[in-house]
Amino acid sequence: MRSDSDLTGRARIRDAALKLFGAEGVNRVSVRAIAARAGVSAALVLHHFGSKEGLRKACDAYVVEMVRGGPGADLDDVSGLAAMLEASSAMRLYLGRAFLDGSPAAAALFDDIVAAAERWLEEGVRTGRVRPSDDPRARAAVYVTWLLAPLTFGEHLTRALPGGGSETDRTLRTSRAGIEIFTRGLFTDDRVLDAWDAVREERRSP
């Protein structure tokens, strides 16, 4: 890790914005607050990024690139999902807010990861590691959403799982619970699924 003194002014501003945007939301943070956090003038922030919106876009681009594993990285190994879980707290908070706020860059990233997860799961079906699905796309979207839940529900998970240790410990605990459900299943028979299908069929009836 580099110290603040090792970073360029532009990078210090970006990192300060990441922390403040993630903790408080873009709309609640001023350019002056970012400048104070970075130890620079508000004029320098505007010089580098043009506006707060320009800075937000720069943060989006930086975080998405880091999650993707760097320029030109391939998401087909779903490595981006692991990177999100292992990212720094500031980056995790920022990305969680970006998904909730509808950031265009975060939305594009989500779509890319769902597509990659669908390909990955279908390859698992072909090799016998994954059970077939009636709706592969929906399964991939739900799977990705579950994996991203700690980014947006971290505060609630902390409250629901008291005494869970560090953030990493809580992530491992919740991930283990999810993997157990995906691997072993949850219900012992098809009653819940049948009831769900009955509701869907009823809605389709004229």
Ramachandran class of 87: left when φ > 0, alpha when ψ lies in -120 to 50, beta otherwise: beta
Mean pLDDT of the chain, nearest integer: 82
Residue 44 contacts residue 77 (beta carbons within 8 Å)? no
- Nearest Cα neighbor of 150 from 171, 173, 180 is 171
Helices within 6-86 (DSSP H only) = 9-24, 31-38, 42-49, 52-68, 79-86
Q: Which residue ranges form the domains of the chain, and what is each CATH number?
A: 4-160 (1.10.357.10)
pLDDT, position 90: 78
- Predicted local confidence at residue 84, as pLDDT: 55
pLDDT in tens, 74-100: 555 554 455 555 556 777 788 888 888
The pLDDT profile of the chain, 206 residues, written as one tens digit per residue, is 344 444 688 999 999 999 999 888 888 899 999 999 999 999 999 999 999 999 998 998 888 777 666 554 555 555 445 555 555 677 778 888 888 877 787 888 788 888 888 888 898 899 998 999 999 999 999 988 887 787 778 778 888 888 767 766 777 788 788 889 988 989 999 999 999 889 988 888 76
Q: Where are the beta strands (DSSP E) in 82-153?
A: none
Tell me the per-residue pLDDT of 143-155, one tens digit each, with 9 for 90 and over: 888 877 877 787 7
Written as six digits, the tokens of 205 are 């009836």
Q: What is the pLDDT of residue 6?
A: 45
Is residue 78 within 8 Å of 113, Cβ to Cβ? yes
Query: Distance (Å, rounded) from C-alpha 188 to C-alpha 33?
Result: 54
Calculate ∠ Cα 203-205-206, nearest 5°: 115
- Taking a C-beta distance cutoff of 8 angstroms, is the pair 79, 99 a contact? no
